[in-house]
Amino acid sequence: MSGVHIRPATAADVDAVVPLMLGSSPELLAATFGDSASVVVRRDFLQGKGVFGHPYQLVALSGDGQVVATLTAYRGRDYRRLSLHTLRSAAVLGPRALARAVRRTAGLARLFAPPGPDSLFLANLCVTPETRGRGYGAAMMEHARALAAARGLAAVELDVSYTNPRAQHLYERLGWVVTGERPAPAGSALDGFRRMRRPAGAA
């Protein structure tokens, strides 16, 4: 899709971006942060230091300047630092809720495999319902690949849910390949994930 304007998010985008991020993986966020996921994600976005922080988000704009898509993108080597900051953002929930979030995160640890340190890791791709099918998602993925190449990174990586074959097929058409699988923990209502990777320099 030509002519799509993609830029880094800013704190001022909070009201447009946070609902999209929450909609990208609501079950996983609820399993981690419970009913307060929106509070944690918003705080993390505004603080700018965790996985959901605005410095690590890209946004796509429609012709009239409205945010219609968002994508998280950060260096794989920063994964642990960003994850720790996001957990600290959950402190806003209070000691008991924070302790529950820590326990939930530990129980889901097998789903959160660290990205390769030489990669740009992508997550939380979401397009507004009224603009889906217009190429915004593919344009953001290609933008992220070019960004990784410009930063001298070897590859781009992402996780796709077992139950989202449509997204997996999109990524495969864009040159991504599955490099591993992580089933959900036994007894969990969550889906497993497939890790996908694409060389950053691939055209």
Q: Each residue of 95-151: pLDDT tens digit? A: 887 777 777 676 667 778 899 999 999 999 999 999 988 889 889 999 999 999 999
**Coil/strand/helix, residue 58:** strand
The answer on pLDDT for 2 being more than 60 is: no
CA 8 to chain centre: 14
Tell me, what's the pLDDT at 203? 60
What is the chain's Cα-based Rg? 16
- Residue type for 127, please? V
CB burial readout 54-84, b (16+ within 10 A) else e:
bebbbbbbbeeeebbbbbbbbbbeebeebee
Q: Where are the alpha helices (DSSP H) in the chain?
A: 14-24, 26-33, 37-47, 79-89, 95-107, 136-150, 165-173
The answer on pLDDT for 187 being more than 80 is: no
Would you say the C-alpha torsion 129, 130, 135, 137 has a positive or negative sign?
Answer: negative
What is the set of domains in the chain, with CATH numbers? 5-199 (3.40.630.30)
**Beta strands 119-127 and 155-161: pairing type?**
parallel
- Dist CA 103 CA 173 (whole Å): 38
Contacts of 132 (CB under 8 A, 6+ apart): none
Tell me, what's the pLDDT at 90? 82
Mean of pLDDT over the chain:
89
- Residue type for 177, please? V
- Nearest to 17, CA basis, from 86, 85, 69: 69
Would you say the C-alpha torsion 20, 105, 116, 53 has a positive or negative sign?
Answer: positive
- Dist CA 163 CA 29 (whole Å): 16
Tell me, what's the pLDDT at 129? 92
202 — pLDDT class (breaks 50, 70, 90): low
CA 141 to chain centre: 12
Q: Is residue 86 classed exposed, middle or buried when 0-12, 13-18 and 19+ CB atoms within 10 A define those classes? A: buried
Token pair recorded at residue 111: 């789903």
Between the CA atoms of 148, 143, 17 and 126, what dihedral angle is there, to the nearest 10 degrees?
-110
